[in-house]
Structure 1
Amino acid sequence: MKATRIIIALGLAFGLSACGTSDLASRNVSMNTTDLAAANVEGAKRLYLAAQYDVREIRIEVPRDLKVSEANMFYPSADIVWRGEPRGDRYQQVHSIFTDAFGMATAKMKDGPPVMIVATVTRFHGVTEKTRYTVGGVFNMKFDLSVINAETGEVIEATRPVEVNAAAAGGSAAIAEEQAGRTQRVVVIEALRQGVRQEVSRKYEESATSRGAIDPTTLAAIR
């Protein structure tokens, strides 16, 4: 389908991911992309994420040959299963989710070479009504990711598959989340945003002995 191209605006919000009752492999690293951020790591070390690109553009593709299912069963056989919004164009809804999440994840990434990030969705599996209001499950999202120099067209990071998962509440917990405003769309965008940050950031560890060497004004610890 025709790729949508957006210019990244400054801003940060919250907001990703697929279904089933199997494994959950959530990516829970978060970052203040103005400079650096930290996530707690075992022992005395912390893992830091630093912006390594000046993200100028994002291109999201949701191929129309992906199979959509509206079947209300525990685990439909399809590429796209999404019930977090009223029935409609599921391809467009998934595109909107990815666009929002990628925009939030990269809004303050302004350091490094100018790049365009390209993501092609290969799977977006949410939970059906039957799963949502009984056992719960997992939001599972897969996409192919590449990073391209926005000025020269040079491939900086070759296309690679990425998978992001998030827990999908079930039963009374799901109802409580909805009532509190934590909708399925909020959950999947938040998880996808975190996953994207982790994928396109520079990572390094800081030991307890070297911690004082980092300017605290450029470092935000995520508790």
Structure 2
Amino acid sequence: MKIFRSLALVSLGLMVSACASVDVPSRNLPFEATPDAAVSVPEGYETLPQIDPLPALRVSSVTVSVPRSLTVSEANSYLPKGDIVWREDPFGDRYTQVQAIVQRAMEAGSTGLEGPIDAALNVEVQRFHALTQKARYTTGGIHAITFKMRLTDLATGALLRPEKVVEADLKAFGGARALEAMSRGQTQKVRITGHLANVIRQELTKPGSYQNPRLGLLQAFQ
């Protein structure tokens, strides 16, 4: 009995000693991330990537250009070839007409920002493909619009962010739906202006967050 009692005491002592030496595994700690709201970073942790502070700006200058190197199509077909297709204004200088639409949209989308960085927004239209008369009153289609944006410091001219090409396509109404939209004042010009204003607003306040919508097979042919 004394032998068994001695063995039991020795076993109990070993168990207590083992429990006292147990530690939480720490091999994964350096790869864990702390929440955004952490005031300080404990040893063994790494910080999460920080959000880009650029949205804290105000746009004091907006310049929109439509290069004369872009081709204009006046063909009344479903998918005319050309960089600029615009029919809702009377026949005339399509470059000037498109510039006025995009200028108005960019000014509307960039107004009201109150950040400390005084910025200049420069936009170059690369494609402005609205609907022809034939597509407008039958099948509808896609307003295929592409522009390049450039943000610079108004005082120094330094780039605040790399130039970016933005594709900003919009579903275009056709047939009865187009007529119904026009009766409510939702012309092509109104819809495109509002859409572009929303796109540039998103790019200015949440850089890189805008994604061009997927509008089906027709989008690939625009």
Match of 2:62 among 37, 53, 58: 58
Cα offset for 1:112? 3.0
Is the contact between residue 52 and residue 202 of structure 1 (CA under 8 Å) also seen in structure 2?
A: no
Greater fraction strand: 1
Matched, 1:125 2:129: yes
Q: Look up the match of 1:182.
A: 186
Larger radius of gyration: 2
Indicate the residue corresponding to 1:213 in structure 2: none
Distance in 1, matches of 2:135 and 2:204, equals 33
- Provide the secondary structure at the position in 1 that maps to 2:115: coil
Residue of 91, 100, 111 corresponding to 1:87: 91
Per-residue CA shift, 1:202-222, capped at 9, x if unaligned?
37xxxxxxxxxxxxxxxxxxx
- Tell me, in whole angstroms, the C-alpha distance in 1 between the residues paired with 2:206 and 2:187: 31
Q: Which residue of 2 aligns with 1:168?
A: 172
The 2-side partners of 1:202 and 1:135 are apart by 35
The one of 46, 63, 77 equivalent to 1:73 is 77
Report the equivalent of 1:158. 162
> TM-score, structure 2 length as denominator?
0.67
Residue 56 of structure 1: how far off its partner (Å): 0.7
What CA distance in whole angstroms lies between the structure 1 residues aligned with 2:106 and 2:114?
A: 14
Q: Which secondary structure state, in structure 2, belongs to the residue aligned with residue 54 of structure 1?
A: strand
Structure 1 runs of 4+ with >4 Å offset: none
Q: What residue ranges of structure 2 are gaps of 5+ in the alignment?
A: 1-53, 208-222
Where 2:169 maps in the other structure, the secondary structure is strand
2:71 corresponds to which letter in structure 1?
A: K
Gaps in structure 1 of 5+ consecutive residues = 1-49, 204-223
Q: Which residue of 1 aligns with 2:144?
A: 140
Q: Is the 8 A contact 1:121 1:142 kept in 2?
A: yes
d(CA) in 1 for partners of 2:89, 2:56: 34
Name 1:196's counterpart in structure 2: 200
Q: State the distance in 2 between where 1:181 and 1:51 align.
A: 33
Displacement of 1:51 after TM fit?
4.6
- Larger relative contact order (C-alpha < 8 A, sep ≥ 6)? 1
Aligned length: 156
Q: Which of the two has greater helix per residue?
A: 2
Q: CA deviation at 1:182?
A: 0.9
Pick the aligned partner of 1:102 from 106, 111, 132. 106
Q: Is the 8 A contact 1:52 1:200 kept in 2?
A: no
User: 2:80 aligns to what SS in structure 1?
Assistant: coil
**TM-score normalised per structure 1:** 0.67
Name 1:35's counterpart in structure 2.
none
Structure 1 residue 192 displacement after superposition:
0.4
CA distance in 2, matches of 1:168, 1:94: 17
Once the two structures are TM-superposed, the CA of residue 52 in structure 1 deviates from its matched residue by 2.4
Q: Say if 2:120 is the partner of 1:116.
A: yes
Between the aligned residues of both structures, percent identity stands at 34
Using the TM superposition, name which of 147-156 and 103-112 deviates more.
Answer: 103-112
Letter in 1 for 2:112: K
